[in-house]
Amino acid sequence: MSSYEAIYAVVRQIPVGQVATYGQIAQLANLGGQARLVGYALYRVTPDLAVPWHRVINAKGEISESPFRYGNDQLQRHLLEQEGVQFSAAGKVSLATYRWQPPSDFPADA
């Protein structure tokens, strides 16, 4: 399984209404310390892959904005809000409330 496939397999497990961080996904995909790789992989998601990329945010609880995402920053927030995720006035998600906690025996190749 390629690194990207491992990342996508983990991201597909994030439940509706919850989020995970780039670093968390890297760790769960056995790619510890490679949070940027997770970002690169999610940037390349196309609709046919059925990967809920919008559920991955940064460790500050924010959407990682980029001029290369062509408006997807607002789309990401919209999709999360549709799932019931609330943002503070500062644009942050409470990781204490919405962070996905996979089971301790979570398989990295789920």
Q: What is the CATH number of the domain that holds 20?
A: 1.10.10.10
C-beta separation of 42 from 51 below 8 A:
yes
The CA distance from 103 to 97, in Å, is 17
104 domain residue, yes or no = no
pLDDT of residue 106: 79
**Residue 103 falls within a domain, yes or no?**
no
Cβ contact 72:29 at 8 Å: no
Do the domain assignments include residue 30?
A: yes
94 closest CA partner among 57, 64, 52 = 57
Q: Is the pLDDT of residue 90 over 70?
A: yes
Q: Which domain holds residue 12?
A: 3-98
Give which of 18, 102, 101, 31 is closest to 61, Cα–Cα. 18
Is 69 a residue whose pLDDT tops 80?
no
Once rounded to an integer, what is the mean pLDDT over residues 91-104? 94
Q: Tell me which of 64 and 9 has the higher pLDDT.
A: 9
The total number of residues shown for the chain amounts to 110
* pLDDT bracket for residue 72 (50, 70, 90): low
**What are the φ and ψ backbone dihedral angles of 63, each rounded to 5 degrees?**
-75, 130
39 in a structural domain: yes
In whole angstroms, what is the distance from residue 78 CA to residue 81 CA? 5
The answer to whether position 10 is within a domain reads yes
**Total number of domains in the chain:** 1
Q: Is residue 86 part of a domain?
A: yes
What is the pLDDT at residue 68?
Answer: 59
110 falls within a domain: no
